[in-house]
Amino acid sequence: MGPIFCLAQQRCSRRNSVILLIPAQPVPEGRSVSLTCKLGQSAEFSSVRFYKDGQLIQEGSLRTYNFSALSKSDEGLYKCELQHSSNVVLTSPESWLSVRGEWTWD
């Protein structure tokens, strides 16, 4: 019997914690990919922020950050924050997004 490989979304959740759902790793370059910010329980939030390598890359009401064509430069550490109208901010743990470059044959 040969080796078995399993790919799955990286996700761990506690009831009151924020998680960032990212695709199975590594993701081939050129793919369209979405990162989703999710709370363990249903709640309304006034703002959702996405960060890459500590830098804010999107802020608004959308809980999804989309890549239309992933590139090697998109590889990095991502996290998200959900802010409640009462100014409570919940932050996900950082997750590494790995991008696999295209193979070339010489």
- The CB-side HSE value for 54 (13 A sphere, CA atoms) comes to 0
> Which residues lie across from 88 on neighbouring strands?
none
pTM score of the predicted model? 0.78
Q: Answer yes or no: are the C-beta atoms of 76 and 52 closer than 8 Å.
A: yes
> What pLDDT score was predicted for residue 41?
67
> What pLDDT score was predicted for residue 86?
80
> What pLDDT score was predicted for residue 5?
30
> What pLDDT score was predicted for residue 54?
97
Instruction: Write out residues in the chain with pLDDT < 50, as ranges.
Output: 1-14
> What pLDDT score was predicted for residue 84?
84
Task: Enter the tokens of residue 94.
Answer: 């950082």
> What pLDDT score was predicted for residue 95?
95
Q: Answer yes or no: are the C-beta atoms of 35 and 59 closer than 8 Å.
A: no
Structural domains in the chain plus CATH codes: 18-100 (2.60.40.10)
